[in-house]
Structure 1
Amino acid sequence: MVVDAIKRTRGLPVDLSAALDASGVIGAWSWSPRSDRCILDAGAAEVLAGDPGLVGRPLPLEIARSCIHPEDRPAVVRHFQAVCERGGLFVAEYRTLSPAGQVRWILDRGRVPAAGSSRRTGHGLILDVTDNRREDEPEIPAQVEPLDALSVAIDRAIECRDALGGVADSELQLLIDMLLLRLGQSIAKGATGTGARRAH
């Protein structure tokens, strides 16, 4: 992952950074199964680890996810470990609790490689979906989200983005980023609009 991956898009013909901000995307992460370390960009470091000064540092999972709400953390960690064993799409919606006591709802989506995969790094994005939740909606644990068409599409788009990592074509990168943005918006809308669909 490129640290501050969201900001790297500034200067492109479309202000993708502004679009990502407007859609609720607040950070990006990468995870290496070989080193068992996570790298967070500035937004993810602030929200997930509670310390923006940790940006770009290889962190143990317990530090990189230390601000996940204590009531949600066991299920999220179990789900992440299960996905890491087989590889594939990781989807979770959970609360974070900042050092100052602020609670936020996060939609976390990414793809991690299987243990024996040639891919060395998993990548993901976190979206703030707090504003989309009804104030009277009970804060109950979520269910694991089944794979649907949008989940499969974002999985394939992330694969495509990884495959184009070494291609110096900013237009292709922009198109993939815009596709991921649109898919993320659709998924966030669906996850918060039904009230019943949650993921750990």
Structure 2
Amino acid sequence: MLQTASHIYGVGFTEAMGSWVWDIQRDQVHADDVAAFLFGLDPGQAQSGRSVAEYEAAIHPDDRDAVTAQFRAAAEEGGIFVAEYRTCPRDGSVRWVLERGHFYHDEAGRPRRAHGIIVDITERKLGGDGFASRPARRAEHPLERAADLCMEAREAVRAARKPFLAKLVDMVLLELGRELKTLMDADRRRRLS
């Protein structure tokens, strides 16, 4: 697993970004190698599907209750979920992550499925007091720069306590994350061929 994660971390992006899909009725979270690494799970098993409880168990004990409650509330209400918290992979490290997801309901209003992205922000958190305090840098790709700016905007909007604006920024971040994930996957395929 560490070789896979090391390879993923070497694709040229500042943070590693993973993705996941949760089949809520079957309680199966299908995640890529980066998400598996951040939660200390075997990549093959994560791709095949693990229970949400296995992911929750890897959340830092000081963050677990709040994140789990926020996650469950988003599942019940539907819509966007955004959280910043720590994970404790089995290697003994502590990772800071920013997770964004979207929950969907069936026709009866029951939670049906969710999908999202998770970004390792450990370097940013350990390098300063958050996104806004991070020194500006030249992004390797325009979408990466846009994501950096949106993360800074998210912090500013959150500090201003503007929930509607925060949701709008979160939606933009989710779309940017999807686009960056596509770029990372293409880069990974190119490196492997």
Identify the residue that residue 152 of structure 1 maps to in structure 2: 171
Structural RMSD (CA): 3.6
Instruction: Quote the Cα distance in structure 1 between the aligned partners of 2:73 and 2:31.
Output: 21
Give the match for residue 179 of structure 2.
178
Q: What does residue range 1-200 of structure 1 map to in structure 2 within 5 Å?
A: 18=11, 22-114=13-105, 116=108, 120-134=112-126, 137=129, 146-147=163-164, 148=166, 149-154=168-173, 157=175, 177-178=178-179
Deviations 1:139-187 (A, max 9, x none): xxxx9993423113346x49xxxxxxxxxxxxxxxxx9437889xxxxx
Contact 2:40 2:90 in 1 (8 A): no
User: Scaled by the length of structure 2, what TM-score is found?
Assistant: 0.60
Question: SS of the counterpart of 2:97?
Answer: strand
Which residue identity lines up with residue 151 of structure 1 in the other structure?
A: D
List per-residue Cα deviations over 1:125-147 (Å, max 9, x = no partner): 11111111245759xxxx99934
SS for the counterpart of 1:72 is helix
Q: Which has the higher helix share?
A: 2
Cα distance in 1 for partners of 2:56, 2:110 equals 25
Structure-1 separation of matches of 2:71 and 2:49: 18
SS in 2 for 1:71: helix
Matching residue's letter, 2:50: L
| Count of aligned positions | 144
> What amino acid maps onto 1:45 in structure 2?
A
Distance in 2, matches of 1:78 and 1:66, equals: 14
CA distance in 2, matches of 1:93, 1:145: 17
Q: Is the 8 A contact 2:36 2:46 kept in 1?
A: yes
Aligned structure 1 segments of 4 or more residues deviating by more than 4 angstroms: 117-120, 134-138, 179-182
Deviation at 1:66, TM superposition (A): 2.6
Percent identical residues: 31
Q: Call closer, same or farther: CA 1:83–1:98 in 2, change over 3 Å.
A: same
Any conservation in 1 of the 2:36–2:42 contact (CA below 8 Å)?
yes
Q: 1:57 Cα shift?
A: 2.1
Tell me if structure 1 keeps the 8 A contact 2:105–2:113: no
| CA deviation after TM superposition for structure 1 residue 49, in Å | 4.1
